[in-house]
């Protein structure tokens, strides 16, 4: 796993924890720290969302690689 993939995975996990905090406690850490829908908040949401998509695609790539090697 490359450093980029590890970084993306960490960002995606942080995003999942933040969403869990919103669901369980109705507390949005990003908006608390940076303000409600400021430019920086929107950038952070975008980075977290893209990290989730990249992490998902890298997960499917690893599954395909494992399937190739098991044949």
The 10s digit of each residue's pLDDT in 15-50 is: 999 999 999 999 999 999 999 999 999 999 999 999
Residue 71: pLDDT band (50, 70, 90) is: low
Residue 66: pLDDT band (50, 70, 90) is: low
Are 40 and 34 spatial neighbours (Cβ–Cβ below 8 Å)? yes
Are 48 and 11 spatial neighbours (Cβ–Cβ below 8 Å)? yes
For the chain, how long is the longest CA-to-CA vector? Answer: 52
């Amino acid at each position: 796993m490359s450093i980029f993939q590890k970084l993306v995975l960490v960002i995606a996990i942080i995003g999942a924890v933040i969403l869990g905090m919103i669901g369980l406690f109705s507390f949005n850490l990003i908006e608390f720290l940076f303000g409600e829908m400021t430019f920086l908040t929107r950038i952070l949401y975008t980075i977290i969302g893209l990290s989730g998509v990249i992490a998902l695609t890298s997960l499917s790539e690893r599954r395909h690689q494992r399937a190739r090697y098991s044949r």
